[in-house]
Copies of this chain bind each other. A is one copy, B any other.
Amino acid sequence: MRSRHMGGPPWWHGRFRGCGYRFTVPRQAILDVLSGTLKHLSAEDIYFAVHKTYPNVGLTTVYRTLELLVHMGLVFKFDFGDGRARYELSEGPKGARHHHHLVCTSCNRVVDYTDFIDEEVELLGRTEKGLSDKFNFKITNHLIQFYGLCDKCRNSQ
């Protein structure tokens, strides 16, 4: 597969090389898909999206790349309870697009929210500090989700 002049954050390349990894076309393509959406894509979703431009990138590569990206901390993997993992470009607590999730336990709909985030993040920071000290963990991330019945589901049943 031929390399192209790559768009997107140029530091991705350096980030990969810095870890001893190669910045290949499939990896670039997967990052492009993730950075171009606000949705919660599954591996298969990403596979189809990449497939439009690069039909010979396989699903296996998508899985392998996602695992790598999660390991590098560039991507966060979520479980919303519908039997398949979901992936999002990880945006640190100070990032503009940082959000948490509200998950409907009936239809699995996921709503992102950014309100209340600031207070949450502030408290999380303090908790994080306390936990690191007490348990000697090197904390790299957190997850907050609320579960319940969405508008539609609470009315329809």
Asked if A28 is at the interface of the complex by the 8 Å CB criterion, the answer is: no
Residues 77 to 94 of chain A near chain B (Cβ within 8 Å)? 77, 79, 81
Q: Quick one: closest B residue to A129, CB to CB?
A: B116
The smallest C-beta distance from A102 to any residue of chain B, in angstroms, reads: 6
The answer to whether the Cβ of A128 comes within 8 Å of any Cβ in the partner chain is yes
A116-B131, A127-B116 are known contacts. Are A142 and B147 too (CB-CB below 8 A)?
Answer: yes
User: In the complex, what distance in Å separates the CA atom of A151 from the CA atom of B102?
Assistant: 32
For A148, what are the chain B residues with a Cβ–Cβ distance below 8 Å?
Answer: 132, 137-141
Bound Cα distance A119, B127 (Å)? 9
| A49 close to B (CB within 8 Å) | no
Q: 0/1 per residue, A120-153, Cβ < 8 Å to B? A: 1001001110111011111111111111111100
